[in-house]
Amino acid sequence: MKKPQINKRSLGVNFGHDGFAHITVWAPIAKEVSVVVNEKKLDLPLNADDFGYWTLVTDGIKPGDKYIFMLDGEKKRPDPASLSQPESVHGPSMAVDLSTFKWTDASWVNHKMDAYIIYELHIGTFTSEGTFDAAIEKLDHLVELGVTAIEIMPVAQFPGGRNWGYDGVLPYAVQDTYGGAEALMRLVDACHAKGLAVVLDVVYNHLGPEGNYFNDFGVYFTDKYHTPWGNAINFDDAWCDAVRLYYIENALMWFRDFHIDALRMDAVHAIKDLSPTHILKEIKQHVNQLLTLTGKKHHLIAELDLNDPVYINSLDESGYGVDVQWIDEFHHALRVTAGEPQTGYYSDFTGIKHLAKAYCDAYVYDGIYSPHRLKTFGASASKNKGNQFVVFSQNHDQVGNRMLGERSSTLVSFEMQKLMAAAVMVSPYIPMLFMGEEWAETNPFQYFISHTDDDLVKAVRKGRKEEFKAFHAEGETPDTQSEDTFNRSKLQWQLTTQPKHQQMLKYYRALINLRVSYDALSELNRDNLSVSSDADKNTLVLQRWHEDEKICCVMNFSDSVQQVDLPENINWTALFNSADEKWGGAVVNQPIENVQIASILPESVTVYINRHV
């Protein structure tokens, strides 16, 4: 069987040092395959190879040429491993030579996961232009904010120019309306020059519906399993070897050729694979081989809804070896604590009690009964480190999957926004922000598409309305196909100059600086942690320590002043107060030193320090 190539791409059209195009496509169900170079009017037959592959070495195609594959003399299809689709997912592919880009990041060293402070963004709505090059112009803002990594929502080619990216149908191609492959490289290079790591969101659990021609080539899907998006990708059925190779090489390409630092893999619980070696484990094994070859460290991050640590346990522990996972349960517990109605999946969360558990255990449901699921759910992650979990108060899903796409800025008070941000930033986990939250962006982030199939557009509209039944939402669902929905979701950078939004931005900068300035907060050690909560007062006391440094964070989620006894009967010194006048809070004269009983204003957090000399 064909093996994944560690040092170079082996699929699609690639250019060697010999000046020839090396072409490989997997099409086991075809009897004839040729590559048609449109403008040159060439029709070049490929040679049948083992295991359903077709190959050709030719000087008939050069970088910049547009081409399609002809299957059995009648079906014209874009390259499944296309790097560029300048005429949409239905049009011809364009040959690209990735080796010609002039990188300047030879000295770049990826951050350890402990040092990641992630900023999630969507290229199309991050700036008014919606391009990689426009994003480069905003990197100084992110550096000044204090984040250390950006996470880019999926850029695999999708229909039209408006999409979250999870409808991508050509996983190797970089969305042309964002600027394409070279523009993505420019963004990564620019990020590294400014000390920012780059996380790329990839989708290995399904392919989008429009422009999905994979079944014309081979058995990329299996009806053994079903996902929310249809038949599962074929990772363990007949002919699965080539499909596994396709996705393994995709991961390697982003790391090796695009210098991406980490991949965030979407909804890995929807990947169905009962092989002796799970596909995620095999990807990790090959990423480790790449490390041996290049000396560059790359991370794998999983979105996971199973609360099963086997995904993030190391290969030595018989796990899949994924480095990090998102934990939505921290978000859910935090939102309910902050006043989110207990509807839909929020119905499983009690608020402050579960938030305290999330701080300590990562998983809230770690082998206990889940009323929402009507079953016992999850397993303990007590042996996993804090740097294996990403937490947040907002992300694209939790904002965009609300019917109206409301951000925290329109759902809770100014003070509660600051408290939720602090709750994330003082956690023993990797924090993540969603673009614009640092200045309390008021525009929503709504679900948008630009499909060309009318029936598909109608189906998506209907599906969105069905999705919100559990939340008892009222009003009209925004039209997913409308360009207005997309434009409403763009960030308003001009808000950063307005007093209230500027105050929030300065608060976020100070909050991030607080986290990185004290080892007790920046060291993600869950062993040096204690948490207590009071459901009657809706308060939580989180204590973290490192050597002689102790930090105590007192959070008041209630709407009244609360008196809270500080732990250990020692004197504490106030470091940070979200209710401070400079952050737009109430003007108060609170004791700063020798504090033992804290008076915490409504919807605020005060952070204290004690050092034993």
How far apart are the C-alpha atoms of 342 and 335, rounded to whole Å? 9
| Nearest one of 363, 361, 354 to 336, comparing CA atoms | 354
Per DSSP, helices labelled H in 523-612 are none
Bridge partners of residue 221, in order along the sequence: 233
| Nearest one of 259, 263, 231, 224 to 247, comparing CA atoms | 263
545 Cα distance to chain centroid: 29
Q: What is the largest CA-CA distance in the chain?
A: 83
Helices (H) and strands (E) in the chain, counts: 15, 30
Q: In 3-state terms, what secondary structure has residue 377?
A: strand
Which tokens is 470 given? 């559990």
Q: Which residues contact 189 (CB under 8 A, 6 or more apart)?
A: 103, 104, 105, 259
How far apart are the C-alpha atoms of 29 and 117, rounded to whole Å? 46
Which tokens is 99 given? 């080796």
| Nearest one of 239, 200, 585 to 422, comparing CA atoms | 585
Q: How far is CA 69 from CA 13, 74, 78, 98, in A?
A: 11, 10, 6, 21
CB 115 within 8 A of CB 147: no
CB 143 within 8 A of CB 195: yes
What are the residue numbers of the active site? 266, 303
Per DSSP, helices labelled H in 238-393 are 240-256, 279-294, 328-337, 352-361
Q: In 3-state terms, what secondary structure has residue 584?
A: coil
* Side-chain half-sphere CA neighbours of 114 within 13 A: 11
How far apart are the C-alpha atoms of 392 and 404, rounded to whole Å? 20
CB 116 within 8 A of CB 195: no
